[in-house]
A and B are shown apart, each in its own frame.
Chain A
Amino acid sequence: GQQLNQSPQSMFIQEGEDVSMNCTSSSIFNTWLWYKQDPGEGPVLLIALYKAGELTSNGRLTAQFGITRKDSFLNISASIPSDVGIYFCAGRIAIGSSNTGKLIFGQGTTLQVKP
């Protein structure tokens, strides 16, 4: 089936450190999205990427759409305690010019930050 491999599965870091996580797939994607989910809440969109090679920032967050269109990474610089949560990558597989509406999600990266 269609899968996104997200790594690492979890991270425990010191406040102020930089964080990097990534997602890879065997399929070509035309959209990559990064979400953060806090306990008891739904995923919140952090960054959306639409073109191969695109590099986009949102404050301390930076994400890139891989050149091969099969991968994406998210970096968080100078982490703070409120960065704690589960980060998900999600993507839309390219199927011609059609929109299937379906997002495929990675399994998530659980981030813990030690003050």
Chain B
Amino acid sequence: EAGVTQSPTHLIKTRGQQATLRCSPISGHTSVYWYQQALGLGLQFLLWYDEGEERNRGNFPPRFSGRQFPNYSSELNVNALELEDSALYLCASSLVRDSVSNQPQHFGDGTRLSIL
């Protein structure tokens, strides 16, 4: 069974540009989560998508946005890039059968975003 796949592996942008990161969940998983792992700050929750809808977002500005497609894959878009956006962006997926489901999240290997 294929795991969570993310692309690209690395992305280099300059300040003010826009970045698009992609994620394909494990087959059968309907929920996709995005996390930012900046150096020294640990993993910070960004967004949760399930069944095409945004279910929750973390404490990040609106220039961080995304969407989930009918095949459950997802995009994370970051507009007006700033130097501090340099980080590893991790996508995770899980099953969500109901509103109280506590299914574990399985992670991809991330996209390393570098802002010059």
Query: Measuring CB to CB, which residues of chain A are less than 8 angstroms from any residue of chain B?
Result: 1, 30-31, 33, 35, 40-45, 48, 50, 88, 90, 92, 97-108
Residue numbers in B under 8 Å from A99 (CB-CB)? 96, 99-102
Residue numbers in B under 8 Å from A45 (CB-CB)? 104-107
B85: interface (CB < 8 Å):
no
Query: Measuring CB to CB, which residues of chain B are less than 8 angstroms from any residue of chain A?
Result: 4, 31, 33, 35, 42-45, 48, 50, 55-56, 58-59, 90, 92, 96, 99-102, 104-110
Instruction: Check if A97 sits within 8 Å of B100, measured CB to CB.
Output: yes
Q: Which residue of A lies closest to B41 (CB)?
A: A107
Chain A nearest CB, measured from B53 CB (Å): 11
Residue numbers in A under 8 Å from B90 (CB-CB)? 42-43
Instruction: Check if A43 sits within 8 Å of B45, measured CB to CB.
Output: no
List 26 A-B residue pairs with CB atoms under 8 Å apart, sorted by A's residue number: A1-B59, A30-B102, A31-B104, A40-B109, A42-B107, A42-B110, A43-B90, A44-B107, A45-B107, A48-B104, A88-B42, A88-B43, A92-B102, A97-B99, A97-B100, A99-B99, A99-B101, A99-B102, A101-B48, A102-B45, A102-B48, A102-B56, A102-B58, A106-B42, A107-B42, A108-B42
